[in-house]
């Protein structure tokens, strides 16, 4: 790791002196930290990529504004700025995506509005199974007991749901 042996104060001093190498080291040093914090706030997929870019912008801002005389570490200062920004993004109304955890689907993510329309078209039993599995994360055993079905019946209904979702996904406009 290139930044080992350099602490934040040394890098900040070199950056203020105009060192591009120190700035690049700072970006490398905090890259995994930005990714970790973005994921811990629940960002995935394209949202994660956007958050990483915003994290770099916030890192640049934090480097410019940090004052060491307040007896705080740069890492904690940057973490607070980053988390506040991510929480603010989370609290704003955003386009909602549904993540498909089940295998053999053609999409990992899909707009929530499409999935809610698809769910309305499902037969009542499949609608209940879909909701229990993918919204409430109910285990298969527990769901089978709750509905009075065998586990194989639940798996069969899940296969039918997955096939239905794949057919519907194929009908979506390709530019999303």
In this prediction, residues 13-31 reach a mean pLDDT of 89
Where are the domain boundaries for CATH 1.10.1740.10 in the chain? 8-91
Maximum average pLDDT range among 62-66, 109-113, 134-138: 62-66
Out of 9-13, 18-22, 63-67, 96-100, least confident range: 96-100
Rg (CA), the chain: 23
Where are the domain boundaries for CATH 1.10.10.10 in the chain? 97-171
Position with higher pLDDT, 170 vs 14: 14
Kindly report the three-state secondary structure assignment for every residue of the chain: CCCCCCCHHHHHHHHHCCCHHHHHHHHHHHHHHHHHHHHHCCCCHHHHHHHHHHHHHHHHHHHHHCCHHHCCCHHHHHHHHHHHHHHHHHHCCCCCEEECCCCCCCCCEEEHHHHHHHHHHCCHHHHHHHHHHHCCCCCHHHHHHHHCCCHHHHHHHHHHHHHHHHHHHHHCCCCC
Cα 176 from Cα 173, distance rounded (Å): 7
Q: Is the pLDDT of residue 169 over 70?
A: no
Q: Is the pLDDT of residue 123 over 80?
A: yes
Give residue-wise pLDDT tens across range 131-163.
888 777 888 899 999 999 999 999 999 888 888
pLDDT on residue 72: 80
pLDDT on residue 121: 79
**Topology, domain 8-91:** Rna Polymerase Sigma Factor; Chain: A (1.10.1740)
| Predicted structure pTM score | 0.50
Are the C-beta atoms of 110 and 162 separated by less than 8 Å? no
Average pLDDT, rounded, for the chain = 78
Cα 105 from Cα 167, distance rounded (Å): 10
Are the C-beta atoms of 66 and 16 separated by less than 8 Å? no
Q: Is the pLDDT of residue 17 over 70?
A: yes
Position with higher pLDDT, 145 vs 67: 145
**Topology, domain 97-171:** Arc Repressor Mutant, subunit A (1.10.10)
């Amino acid at each position: 790791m290139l930044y080992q042996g350099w602490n934040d104060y040394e890098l900040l001093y070199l950056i203020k002196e105009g060192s591009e190498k120190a700035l690049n080291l700072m970006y490398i040093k905090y890259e995994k930290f930005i990714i970790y914090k973005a994921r811990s706030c629940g960002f995935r997929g394209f949202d994660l990529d956007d958050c990483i870019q915003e994290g770099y912008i916030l890192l640049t801002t934090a480097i410019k504004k940090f004052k060491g005389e307040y007896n705080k570490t740069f890492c904690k200062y940057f973490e607070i700025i980053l988390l506040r920004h991510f929480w603010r993004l989370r609290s704003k109304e955003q386009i909602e995506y549904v993540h498909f955890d089940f295998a053999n689907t053609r999409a990992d993510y899909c707009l929530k509005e499409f999935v809610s329309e698809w769910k309305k078209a499902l037969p009542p039993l499949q609608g209940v199974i879909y909701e229990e599995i993918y919204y409430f994360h109910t285990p298969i055993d527990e769901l089978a007991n709750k509905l009075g079905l065998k586990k194989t019946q639940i798996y069969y209904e899940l296969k039918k749901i997955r096939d239905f979702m794949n057919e519907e996904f194929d009908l979506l406009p390709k530019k999303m």
